[in-house]
Amino acid sequence: MHQLTPGDGEPGRARAADRGDGSAGTEAVVFVCTACATPLTTPLTRLPAVPEAPDHPFWDVEEPGPWPPTVPAGRFAIETEPYGAPLVVSDVPGPVMPRQGVSVNVHGQHLVSDGPRGNIVINPGDARHLELEHACAACCGASPEGGMNQVCVCGTLVATLSSDCCLPHELHLSAAHVRAVRTVRP
């Protein structure tokens, strides 16, 4: 592996991963913690956009648990909309975050994310060396409403996991806490 050239490591410019279909021998990136350089993902290639979340009637399943992942294994995409905490009051009703429903506070006011843009969205199964920490309360998984909830082995908060039964199943790596390193998919 070698480090990306200036600009390529920025999520919006991860050109190295724009090529290929994820098959063997294609150029890919591994995202590493900026604090300690621990690899946080398997090799990934870039999608042009975050896919729509799969249709998942969570109220109709026999066993509660996460939805099917939004992002296919071995791929990543850049979130262009605000995602995660903080949530702020909005005069315009709409989804609290991309691929999620409406949220209101105790006063009935609509809430929307005022979190960062540019997160790297991956399949949670492609994550490595992360542990859940202080997740926002949810019935059977992690909610992104409380902000970053995944910590690297060095102790740095680096990502936000969404894994509750009523939310899209995805992991958002913080663009401010990870960097891309080029590799070749075996």
Note the pLDDT tens digit of each residue in 103-153: 889 999 999 999 999 999 999 999 999 999 876 767 778 888 888 999 999
The domain limits of the chain are: 2-184
Contact 143, 25 (CB under 8 A): no
Note the pLDDT tens digit of each residue in 31-57: 999 999 999 999 999 999 999 988 766
In angstroms, the CA 165 to CA 72 distance is: 18
Query: Could you tell me the pTM of the whole model?
Result: 0.81
What DSSP designation does 119 have? -
Length of the chain, in residues: 186
CB atoms within 10 A of CB 21: 8
Provide, for the chain, the percentages of residues in helix, strand and coil under a 3-state DSSP scheme, each rounded to the nearest 5: 10, 30, 60
Contact 177, 166 (CB under 8 A): no
In angstroms, the CA 161 to CA 128 distance is: 13
Strand order across the beta sheet in which 87-89 lies:
87-89, 110-113, 103-104
